[in-house]
Each structure stands twice: as structure tokens, then as C-alpha cells.
Amino acid sequence: MTKRKSKRYRPPAPPELAKDAHKGDAGRVLGFVGSRLYPGAATLFARAAQRAGAGLVTLGCLDECLLASVPITAPEAVYLDLFGPADVERAHVAELLAARGEHALVVGCGLGGGERARALVASVLSSGAELPLVVDADGLNALGAEPERLRAYAGPIVITPHPGEASRLLGRVVPKHDEERAKAARELAQKSGAIVCLKGHRTVVTDGRTLYVNDSGNPGMATAGAGDVLAGILGAYLAACVTCRTTTWKPFDAAASAVHVHGAAGDLAAKELGRRGLVASDLIAFLPAAQRRLRS
């Protein structure tokens, strides 16, 4: 396996916007995220995607109650209701994705494990859409022990399992040792056809060939919602793969950079606030500074 990691290696910074860019050029990200029990996941995802540079974030909501809370905490986002029984069926999802002109799609953050959530994940994967896709949390849980189901999707995919989710997908325990984690991530990438971000201390990013082991981040980031923040950054950076006019910015670069910036924001937050008591929204506050540092 080729290692894109050395003492001097840093993932590339996301591309700059053109001088004449509008919000569509900055990237349109659609998230099928959040639920009645996890409304905060939608908020964290939306705010992180916006701070990471997305020009327009749309939240596709399965639960109507989200419209009573999330607009207060993420006022810049817009909303798409999926309240009807047919709204999660393949034909509707395929038509919706074909018509909207999104640049990236994120599925799973706080989505819940109900039947409609599982149906939505299946419909996305079989929709024929080619835009970059992030599958996180409950999106991964909907796959059971069948990572091969991700191969049905027509576009590039990034998945973000923690060790427990990776263990379920692989059908075996993922060890804690760095070398074994890298082997497990590579195996999962080969089975799924996806870029894998195996989260944890020294998050591993691999597409089955190239490997990047991240060295930013700290134990204070072991807090609820941190994964939703990462998913938002990934959505924004993958959208740039579609909108970028002047540079070569590939999905692997987007994934590695998102992981690095996520950890760097955590490091800046810990330096300012301390590790103990760090919360996911603190990471969002430090995203602009973390991105500036990557460019310097």
C-alpha cells in the first residue's frame, strides 16, 4: 500500500473560491440527518458544513419536529421535508437527487434506526446519483454486516465508522494497534469500494490503496456530536470536488483534509478551553482558524 504519510506530510488545503463565486460555487450540501431523538445531530452537521465552506446546506428531515428546533440553532440552513410514507422510496429519492443539483450528500448523522431511516439509506444507494456521498453513524448501521451494499452507489463514497461500527461491518473486532487498524480500514475499503475514515486516536483514511494516518486531535474530542461535525466538514470538502474550477481536488484529498482539520480544530479548542469539558460545538467555533492554519 502506498502511504501518503510522513513526518512532513500534510493533507492539501481545500481550494479557494474564485473571485466571482456565488453560494452555488461554494458548494450545495444535502444532509439526510437528524431525528426526533437526535435533533442536535442536524444542527452540528449543518453548522460544521457551513463553517467548512459550504455555500448552502439543506437538511432533509424525516421527522417534522426538527422544524421546530433546528432552524433556531442553524438559521442559515434550509429544509426539505420527507414526512410522507412515499418520500423514502427509491423512485422519489432518485427523482429528488436528480432534480436538486446538489454537490454532495451526507446520510446518517442522528438519523435513527427505524424502518423509514433504513429505507432511505437503501434508496440513496440505489438511486443512480453520482454526487459524492458520506455515510455516517445510523447510515452505516443500516448496512448491518454488508459493506458490499455500498458498491451499488454510482458515485464516490466516504464512510466514517468508529471501531464498533467497523467491527460490525467486518464481522470481527477491530484491534487498537495502529498497524492492525490500518489493515482493518484497508479491508473495509476493499469490501465496500469506499474511502474509509476509521475514527479514533490517529484516524486512518484509506481507499484500499493509499493510506493516511492523521496526527491531529486529542482525547478531549471523545465527546457526543464530534462525528456529526466531521460529517459536515466532509460534506463541504466533497462538494468542492464538484465545484472546484482551477485545481485538482479529489475525494481522497477531501477526506484526509477533513479529518486533519477536524482534529486541528479540536487541538485549538483544547488549547484555549482545556480538554476536559470540550463539546462538539467548540470544534465548530475553531474550524476557521484550523483551516487558516492548514493554508499557512
Amino acid residing at 121: V
**Sign for the pseudo-dihedral over CA of 276, 51, 261, 166:** positive
- Given this model, what pLDDT does residue 126 score? 98
**For residue range 132-144, what is the model confidence (pLDDT) as tens digits?**
999 999 999 999 9
**For residue range 58-71, what is the model confidence (pLDDT) as tens digits?**
999 999 999 888 99
Terminal alpha carbon distance of the chain: 29
- Given this model, what pLDDT does residue 7 score? 44
Residue 208 half-sphere exposure, CB side, CA atoms within 13 Å?
A: 12
State how far the Cα of 151 lies from the Cα of 44, in Å rounded to an integer: 28
- Given this model, what pLDDT does residue 246 score? 67
State how far the Cα of 140 lies from the Cα of 146, in Å rounded to an integer: 10
When computed from its CA atoms, the radius of gyration of the chain, rounded to whole angstroms, is: 17
SS3 277: coil
Nearest to 44 by CA among 223, 237, 281, 266: 281
Amino acid residing at 248: T
- Given this model, what pLDDT does residue 10 score? 74
C-beta neighbour count of 15 within 10 angstroms = 18
pTM to 2 decimals? Answer: 0.96
**For residue range 234-269, what is the model confidence (pLDDT) as tens digits?**
999 999 999 987 678 999 999 999 999 999 999 999
**Sign for the pseudo-dihedral over CA of 292, 75, 56, 19:** negative
% pLDDT > 90, the chain: 88
Residue 250 half-sphere exposure, CB side, CA atoms within 13 Å?
A: 6
Pairing, β 195-198 against β 204-206: antiparallel
Task: List all residues 6 or more positions away from 80 whose beta carbon is below 8 Å from its beta carbon.
Answer: 30, 58, 59, 60, 61, 96
**For residue range 196-215, what is the model confidence (pLDDT) as tens digits?**
999 999 999 999 999 999 99
Higher per-residue confidence, 215 vs 1: 215
Pairing, β 56-61 against β 195-198: unpaired
State how far the Cα of 192 lies from the Cα of 279, in Å rounded to an integer: 31
Number of residues that this document lists for the chain: 296
When pLDDT is cut at 50, 70 and 90, the band that residue 6 belongs to is very low
| pLDDT at position 145 over 90 | yes
- Given this model, what pLDDT does residue 5 score? 45
- Given this model, what pLDDT does residue 121 score? 98
For residue 51, what is the enclosing H or E element?
A: helix 39-51
State how far the Cα of 89 lies from the Cα of 276, in Å rounded to an integer: 44
Residue-range domains of the chain with CATH:
21-295 (3.40.1190.20)
